[in-house]
Structures are given as C-alpha cells and as structure tokens.
C-alpha cells in the first residue's frame, strides 16, 4: 500500500457518514439478528466495507484495536492509523478486535469487564463470508419472540451470555452487511 492509498477509503463527508453509520450500528445492537447495510468506508483488503465502516465509526486514539490474523497487514495498520489514530494492541488490551472467527478464537483472550465495570470489555468484529437471518436462535432484549442469525458456532455465544452482565459484544460483518449480538442475548441451536 502506498502512502497515498492509506489516505483514501475514509468517510467522504465525515459528519454525515459517521452519523448514518452510527445509527445503523446502534440499530443492529438494539435489535439482535437484524442485518443492515453500511457502505460509508472503503478499507484496504482484507477488511470488508462493513468492518471498515465500524472501525471508522467506533475507534479513536483512546480505543485499542486488535487486528487478528489476516486482518493484521501493513495496509490495514496504516489505514487505521491515518483515519482513526487507534493504537494496535494485544487481545488483552483490546476495546475492539477484528478478524475471522478462527483468528479471534479463543475469545477468552479478550477482556470481559469486571463486576465493578462491566463496560470495560471488548467488542469483536467477526468477518464472515455471508450473513443470513437463519441458523442460531436468538432471544432477549430487542427481540419480539425469537430471531435467527447465521453464527460461526453457538456454544461460545451461549457461554458468553452466561457471563452477563460481563462478557463480550459481537458484530458480524460480510461485505457491506452488519449484524450484532450483545452479551444480553441468549443463543441456542436453530
């Protein structure tokens, strides 16, 4: 990646694009299993459009970002540094992390908060091949009866929910699509 390439791919109209992206991100977090499109960023490969948009919207110089596996490239590091200033950190220090499910595993390496400060946990951005409203059954706040979401597995998410109010929050991204799974959501096999 050239120095010029690191300068591109950010928000074209930062205040408006960030506001639209933030609204979509908060909507999927409030409505687990709902899939939305976010198209505001054009990050370097292998990041998806949705993952890049989440990073631009949620990361800043105070939020440590862990780049897992294939997402840890010089091009991605330069892009993140230029557009957000977020420090690249180890899993134990991450506020956000991005990568495939295999690269992020085991998720026990990320902070889950403390009883005094449950908000001091990580949010993981899991890059997927596709997102569909099928598969695992989701129940909990923001869901009328049940919802469905194609998750990479169910056991880890069920175990994460058992830690509530501690635990991790998850975003799932594929292309320009994003869905979320907060720790308050119960997960079982579909």
Range list of H helices, the chain: 3-6, 14-30, 49-58, 74-83, 101-104, 155-162
Contact 135/149 with Cβ under 8 angstroms? yes
Radius of gyration, alpha carbons of the chain: 16
**Cα–Cα distance measured from residue 72 to residue 159, given in angstroms and rounded to the nearest whole number:** 27
Domain extent for 135: 3-188
Contact 95/61 with Cβ under 8 angstroms? no
What percentage of residues in the chain have a pLDDT greater than 90? 89
Q: Which residues contact 47 (CB under 8 A, 6 or more apart)?
A: 55, 71, 76, 79, 98, 127
pLDDT at 28 over 80: yes
Q: Which two tokens stand for residue 128?
A: 């997927």
pTM listed for this prediction: 0.95
Q: Other C-beta atoms within 10 Å of 145: how many?
A: 6
Q: Which two tokens stand for residue 166?
A: 């501690």
What is the distance, to the nearest Å, from the Cα of residue 33 to the centroid of all Cα atoms in its chain?
A: 14
pLDDT at 187 over 90: yes
As a whole number, the mean pLDDT across the chain is: 95
Q: What is the CATH number of the domain that holds 95?
A: 3.40.50.11310
Number of domains in the chain: 1
Which run of H or of E encompasses 100? strand 96-100
Q: Which two tokens stand for residue 95?
A: 């506020």
pLDDT at 4 over 70: no
Q: What are phi and psi of 7, to 5 degrees?
A: -80, -15
Helices and strands (H, E) in the chain, number of each type: 6, 9
């Amino acid at each position: 990646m050239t120095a010029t390439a690191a300068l591109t791919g950010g928000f074209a109209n930062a205040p408006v694009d960030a506001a639209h992206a933030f609204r979509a991100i908060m909507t999927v977090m409030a409505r687990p299993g709902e899939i939305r499109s976010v198209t505001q960023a054009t990050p370097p490969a292998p990041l998806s459009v949705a993952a890049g948009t989440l990073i631009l919207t949620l990361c800043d110089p105070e939020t440590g970002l862990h780049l897992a596996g294939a997402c840890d490239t010089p091009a991605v590091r330069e892009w993140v540094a230029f557009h957000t200033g977020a420090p690249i950190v180890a899993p134990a220090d991450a506020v956000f992390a991005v990568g495939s499910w295999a690269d992020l595993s085991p998720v026990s390496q990320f902070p889950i908060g403390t009883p005094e400060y449950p908000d001091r946990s990580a949010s993981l951005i899991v890059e997927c091949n596709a997102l569909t409203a099928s598969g695992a059954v989701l129940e909990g706040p923001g869901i009328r009866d049940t919802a469905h979401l194609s998750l990479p597995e169910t056991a880890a998410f069920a175990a994460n929910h058992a830690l509530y109010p501690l635990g991790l929050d998850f975003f799932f991204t594929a292309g320009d699509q994003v869905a979320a799974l907060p720790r308050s959501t119960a997960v079982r096999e579909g």
